Chains A and B, each alone.
Chain A
Amino acid sequence: MNAVTDFLRQVVEGLGSGAVYASLALALVLIHRFTGIVNLAQGELAMLSTYVAWQLVASGMPFWLALPVTLVVSFAGGMLVERIVIRPVQGAPELTVVIVTVGLFIFVNAMAGLIWSFTVKDFPQPFPDGGIEMAGVRVDWSTLGIIGVVAVVMGLLYLLFQHTSVGLVMRAVACNPSSARLSGIRVGRVLMLGWGLAATVGALSGVLVAPVLFLEPNMMGGVLIYAFAAATLGGFDSPVGAVVGGLFVGVAETLTGAYVDVIGADLKVGVPLVIILAVLLVRPQGLFGRAAVERA
């Protein structure tokens, strides 16, 4: 019985880190759906957001006020990035746009170092210490909190996309921008909105993971790899896939780290790479993605 509860505890812990990967993976998938590219700078934008949150908290704002303010700032920042950095290369070959995101990666990373220095900062833990026992399994408040916050944001996103006219228009643009234009939709504005939403969801991953990883400009590098694995597993076209993929990757990471001695804590970074490789070999479109098949 002890072994079972221990296993369950590992699973819940894995879901906690999985929720973080899920939110960054969802940001990647949103950008991919709207812009058709993988935004390599997504993690760095999240890191920048996390510094904004840190700055707000450091200047005396309570965390639970700083979080929504940070998300709003991130939303605006994402829209600005689309308008200023991505719009000028819209319609350029995909590789060009991806390279632009690499440039953005380096720029944001250097900016953060310049403003806040590269020394590691302590990020406040927003959730209380300790935890509760659920069915004999001890769960930390911080794990529950992360899962809860991510679940709420995912739920709000779902409502936005499936049950509002703005969401409908956004899905139409993601699906077929030229037909959207012909229906009178201002596609440029919708793309800005998409980048804003992605930046918001991504920011969440940074802020939630910061108490665990500590805050420094390179903190999101590892998380981005896990998010890639999650998005690849779920399918780069599927928001639901990103979330499921993120949770799966989190659990897989925790379990292999805990139970496979050869891997342990040191080698578990390899887990997402193995997942990426396996998915690309077996089912390149991912679990929830669709293979690119066009009707003749």
Chain B
Amino acid sequence: MSEPTTDRTEATPGAEPDFLTVRGLHAGYGQARVLQGLDFRVARGEVCAILGPNGAGKTTTLRALCGMVRGRGSVTLNGTELLGRSPEQTARIGVAHVPEGRGTFNDLTVEENLRVGAHLRTGPRRRGRAERAAVAADLERIHDYFPRLRQRSRQAAGSLSGGEQQMLAIGRALMLRPSLLLLDEPSLGLAPLVTRELFEIIRAVNEEEGTTVVVVEQNAQLALGIAHRAHVLEAGRLVLSGPAAQIREDGQVAEVYLGVSVRSRKAG
């Protein structure tokens, strides 16, 4: 497995710069206003990392994008406004959100979890042979990314390890064939080795499927390793945006805003 720190900035597929456009996004919970007006754009096929300390509003940003929390401002995906829609509606538009803490269906088997992900395409009105074949092909594709899921196909999701559950959650999200994949702290609670494997897979998915990814991470170095662009969030505002490589190289900035010494970690 290669070191996930290659410079991907030049590889940015910038043909359509406005795939996901966030303008003046405010969001919060009740009285607590978490996001104080975010503006950023993600190009189609790009991996965008949102970094920042605890409580900066990273998770809230993702939740506002998928409709789990209400937001003000404007969020458009390929020209379609996302704000004001429920999670089930944004999922139907092509937004797949993998929540923090994974959110697998623990009573269901691994394969059933994946099939739930594909249910939008196998609903009562679409049960043709072609659809079944497509779902089978998708299962195969997910299994290729996550060989461990193939082995555990008939096991209950609740019996998987934390890393496997995270893989399953991402696999299920991919079964939606999303155009936008939102990942909330995929490394949370995982062993470093498993985390690296996971990020390599995320990178592969992005490269092979062209899925646009917005990933929220505490582990800045890992996220910057697979991202094209990165935004640093602090107290509900963007304090730094730029190509991932630039932010990674700017060790001083990273140290100030991320509370980690990116350079020394990289060297170590």
- Residue among B68, B88, B122 making CB contact with A187, cutoff 8 Å: B88
Q: In whole angstroms, how far apart are the Cα atoms of A181 and B97 in the complex?
A: 10
- Residue among B91, B96, B99, B123 making CB contact with A165, cutoff 8 Å: B123
Q: Is the CB of A184 within 8 A of B122?
A: no
Q: Is the CB of A184 within 8 A of B176?
A: yes
Q: Choose, from A11-19, A169-177, A281-289, the stretch at the interface.
A: A169-177
Q: Is the CB of B119 within 8 A of A171?
A: no
- Beyond A165-B122, A165-B124, A168-B115, whether A185 also contacts B108 by CB under 8 A is no
Residue interface mask B111-149, A partner, CB < 8 A = 1: 010011101101110010000000000000000000000
Taking chain A's interface residues, is the majority helix, strand, or loop, or is none over half, making it mixed? helix
- Assess whether A59 is interfacial by the CB under 8 Å rule: no
The smallest beta-carbon distance between A190 and chain B, in angstroms, is 10
- Assess whether B105 is interfacial by the CB under 8 Å rule: yes
The contact size tier of chain B is: 20 to 34
Interfacial chain A residues near B91, Cβ < 8 Å: 181-184
Of A168, A174, A184, most buried by chain B (CB within 10 Å of CB) is A184
Interfacial chain B residues near A168, Cβ < 8 Å: 108, 112, 115-116, 119
- Residue among A171, A181, A184 making CB contact with B108, cutoff 8 Å: A171
Of A171, A180, A181, A182, most buried by chain B (CB within 10 Å of CB) is A182
- Assess whether A90 is interfacial by the CB under 8 Å rule: no
Residue interface mask A144-188, B partner, CB < 8 A = 1: 000000000000000000000110110110111011111111110
In the complex, the chain B residue whose C-beta lies closest to that of A187 is: B88
Q: Is the CB of A183 within 8 A of B99?
A: no
- Beyond A175-B108, A176-B104, whether A184 also contacts B120 by CB under 8 A is yes
The contact size tier of chain A is: 20 to 34
- Assess whether B107 is interfacial by the CB under 8 Å rule: yes
- Assess whether B87 is interfacial by the CB under 8 Å rule: yes
Q: In whole angstroms, how far apart are the Cα atoms of A186 and B91 in the complex?
A: 10
Q: In whole angstroms, how far apart are the Cα atoms of A178 and B96 in the complex?
A: 13
Q: Is the CB of A183 within 8 A of B116?
A: yes
A-B contact pairs, 18 of them (CB 8 A): A165-B124, A165-B127, A168-B108, A168-B115, A172-B112, A175-B107, A176-B106, A178-B68, A179-B104, A179-B105, A179-B169, A182-B96, A182-B98, A182-B103, A183-B176, A184-B119, A185-B88, A295-B158
The 4 closest A-B pairs by CB, nearest first: A184-B91, A179-B103, A181-B87, A175-B105
